[in-house]
Chain A
């Protein structure tokens, strides 16, 4: 479509401004006498005599010559454009003078525009330029102005040609005509260059658009699993997809945590730390060595795995390691803190982003269904597979909106519902208490077991088994009970999430308490073991029966008696829990979803009843359970990562596999929910839960760091009174003394308490500000809604009034379209004035016409209800009355 390209607004404007530049200043000086009626030729001559030697003058002359030379060439076109022009010398003279006038005209026209109200009434409105040219000896100023106007309009026409709903043939014809016309009166001034430049710019613009498109595509492709999630979303709705998006987000966060821990703790230790077997804490004890490589032992994270860099106990308490003099204990501590710091920041930021996004789409609420209907199909889709999933997506989104709609106008027996809800809550609280007690009981029992010597596999893993079983069976029970409540599925999901959260929380905390008991038990024994170790070493070096002259070789590290290292024990607990959790999840999916689906699918051929529609049917995707599983798993990771740096690595693997596995499982063996519902706007509820869990998991870690003494013979903080002593040590030894003083001063309670108070004040202030802002937001929304209603009712009145002349609606698709059509058919100066003051004119006619035509209108459109909102009103009225203005006056 080159012809469209070449006929662009920029080109036209360029040509114009080129001409304009040549004669702007003289014309502005000469304009007033010119309008008074002096012949154009004289005018030009007068200007020439005024400034004989100026470069601008020369330029103008040259251009004039060139134009008159080229005049012979374009004459044919001129004829076609200004049809019915009579031949002869007079006309040619007229045109020559016209051409000389061309440059000043522009300026004059601007002046004319300003003086429009004054000059308009006087103007004679002849039918066309051509007849006026033929009818007179020379052109008057008005006619010149009109020609210019026509040129302008043609240019406008060329510029807006694209937006005309005309067939291609008509477009072509119109375009050629307009181009010819413009070319004739514009001259070839600077055209070629402009054209090329314009073409080049268009090319560049197109390339740029293409590049942007490719870049966006590339960015989309870079988002991992985007297509998978989109596929799931189109079949299962946004609520199921929200889980996968959450999973992906979690994976990203864990990758960062993994990078932090791996890069700053594990790798330095492996590269620069003392190698395995050199000191007791890095060696498997003699008693365990036989079995240390057995799979059953390794599976429990004992043996060699226990004495590896994956766990806290492996790290040495040397202040610096390697030639880099890397302060590993310090790094360990700081990484442990920054894991929490980063997680907090990222969760809170993501929550804030979500709320930001949720406030901005006020307008689309008004047109949910319309937008879905008219803009949801992507016309770019050419691939049948994509189209299939698009159909599914559209259907799903319609269903989601329909569910919302149905829920919003559902009316029910309120009392019955309320009663049922109370009952349901009571039942669920009972369940929660029961499960809490069960866990407490099991934990107590496991402490008994741990004192015994040989315990069976079941007795050792009882806690995990019970917790997993609870996690498996309670959520479906809750769901069954929640069916009583008849909530909207989205609200129901939130309740369900909250309840299972409480269940898991109870489990988690009972588990933690048991763990704490264990830790305290180990700590109490520690003093004794410390003495034993001391004595062993003392006896070893001082015992008699060794040649005194030869220095004794040091005791083999495997033989040194050592403490139980409660930190590693805690880390192992978390590791086990994570792995067993993962396995239970996968097995549940395999058995509960996949095998069930296979059974239903294939046994349906030879079964007494319809399995697919009847009892077992296919499983639905359990959003709440999966989301909470993910959140609590993350809580474990946060808690455990301080004691088991390798835990995050395991978790990254887990999330990765579960992404693929669950994507496959959901697509292969699940069916969409019966009532597909839209995910709550942005998953800020998930984030809230996650934040809560983060906070809760921060507490035990902070407690152990602040108030429990580290083990004396394992870990980076061994030998210190408390773990945070490493900070003090660094400040004292590595920083200049005044910094130490500053820190000591900052740690003064007299400073901390005011700081905390200040923070509270700030929180209070910000909270109240945000509340008032959201109130203002809600009010504005209401206002918009009211405005819309207003507009609607106004329109309906107006619509009745104009029902008779609605026939010309298609023509008025764009306002200036018809206005630009006018000059071609009947070039009246009327149209020019109309285009210059369209609003007043349009409004004027809009208010007058319907009133005169339809006297029965109850409310004259000029006096609008609710005229206190001028902006929207003017828009509505402009669009409504613009149609009127284009009608030929009757």
Chain B
């Protein structure tokens, strides 16, 4: 606010961005998936992440964000990625595996070993604080 600096250095940007999924967000909302966003993409992102966006839409994009390898399913590998990023790699490999197993066990309703969008929505529908955490304010 107070500073006159208009161009951020790379380090500053890194320091400001603490979201473990920042790359994924950029990739999901960019048109060609390379993380570079046009203005429209940017607006897209904010309209999805805004407070007013409906739960279904948020769930859809959350699914895309957590789907690291972009095969339209959240598989065990994606879950492992998520856990590692959330905990900054502080959990051991066994613990990560246990967590992934548990998540699949809980949310995978058709038991095909991966979460489809439907599974994900079904799960996220009941999450009490999904709406309050999955949004960005400007």
Binding site for B on A (CB under 8 A): 1, 4, 162-165, 167-169, 209, 363-364, 366-371, 373-384, 386-388, 391, 394-395, 398-399, 401-402, 405-406, 791-792, 795-796, 798-800, 803, 806, 809-810, 813-814, 879
How far, in angstroms, from A209 to B107 measured CA to CA in the complex?
A: 32
Task: Chain A residues near B31: list those with CB within 8 A.
Answer: 167
How far, in angstroms, from A168 to B72 measured CA to CA in the complex?
A: 21
Distance (Å) between the CB of B122 and the closest chain A CB?
Answer: 8
Binding site for A on B (CB under 8 A): 15-16, 18-21, 31, 40-41, 43-44, 47, 49, 51-54, 56-57, 59-62, 66, 72, 79, 82-83, 86-88, 90-91, 95, 98-99, 102-103, 106-107, 109-112, 116-118, 120-124, 126-130, 133-137
B19 and A377 form a contact (CB under 8 A): yes
Q: Which one, B59, B90, B136, contacts A379 given CB within 8 A? A: B136
B126 and A367 form a contact (CB under 8 A): yes
Q: Which residue of A lies closest to B102 (CB)?
A: A369
> DSSP class of A's interface residues: helix, strand, loop or mixed?
helix
Task: Chain A residues near B90: list those with CB within 8 A.
Answer: 391, 395
Given A375-B124, A379-B19: A395 and B91 interface contact (C-beta under 8 Å) = yes
A809 and B83 form a contact (CB under 8 A): no
A381 and B19 form a contact (CB under 8 A): yes
How far, in angstroms, from A886 to B106 measured CA to CA in the complex?
A: 28
Q: Which one, A165, A376, A798, A809, contacts B86 given CB within 8 A? A: A376
Task: Chain A residues near B124: list those with CB within 8 A.
Answer: 374-375
A373 and B83 form a contact (CB under 8 A): yes
How far, in angstroms, from A65 to B32 measured CA to CA in the complex?
A: 51
Q: Which residue of A lies closest to B89 (CB)?
A: A395
Task: Chain A residues near B98: list those with CB within 8 A.
Answer: 402, 405-406
B60 and A165 form a contact (CB under 8 A): yes
Given A367-B127, A368-B106: A373 and B57 interface contact (C-beta under 8 Å) = no
How far, in angstroms, from A369 to B86 measured CA to CA in the complex?
A: 13
Q: Which one, B44, B86, B118, B135, contacts A380 given CB within 8 A? A: B135
Task: Chain A residues near B126: list those with CB within 8 A.
Answer: 363-364, 366-367
Given A165-B60, A167-B31, A402-B95: A795 and B106 interface contact (C-beta under 8 Å) = no
B44 and A168 form a contact (CB under 8 A): yes
> DSSP class of B's interface residues: helix, strand, loop or mixed?
helix
B18 and A387 form a contact (CB under 8 A): yes
A162 and B107 form a contact (CB under 8 A): no
B111 and A162 form a contact (CB under 8 A): no
Q: Which one, B40, B54, B117, contacts A809 given CB within 8 A? A: B117
B47 and A384 form a contact (CB under 8 A): no
In order of increasing CB-CB distance, the 7 nearest A-B pairs are A799-B110, A387-B18, A168-B40, A369-B102, A395-B87, A163-B54, A795-B109
Q: Which one, A168, A398, A879, contacts B83 given CB within 8 A? A: A398
B18 and A384 form a contact (CB under 8 A): yes
Q: Which residue of B lies closest to A883 (CB)?
A: B118
Task: Chain A residues near B59: list those with CB within 8 A.
Answer: 813
26 contacts between A and B (CB under 8 A): A1-B47, A162-B52, A163-B54, A167-B40, A167-B41, A363-B126, A369-B106, A370-B127, A373-B103, A374-B127, A375-B133, A377-B21, A379-B136, A383-B18, A395-B88, A395-B90, A405-B102, A792-B111, A795-B111, A799-B109, A799-B110, A800-B110, A809-B117, A810-B60, A813-B59, A879-B118
Task: Chain B residues near A401: list those with CB within 8 A.
Answer: 99
A809 and B111 form a contact (CB under 8 A): no
A379 and B111 form a contact (CB under 8 A): no
Q: Which one, A363, A375, A381, A398, contacts B129 given CB within 8 A? A: A375
A379 and B49 form a contact (CB under 8 A): yes
How far, in angstroms, from A810 to B116 measured CA to CA in the complex?
A: 10
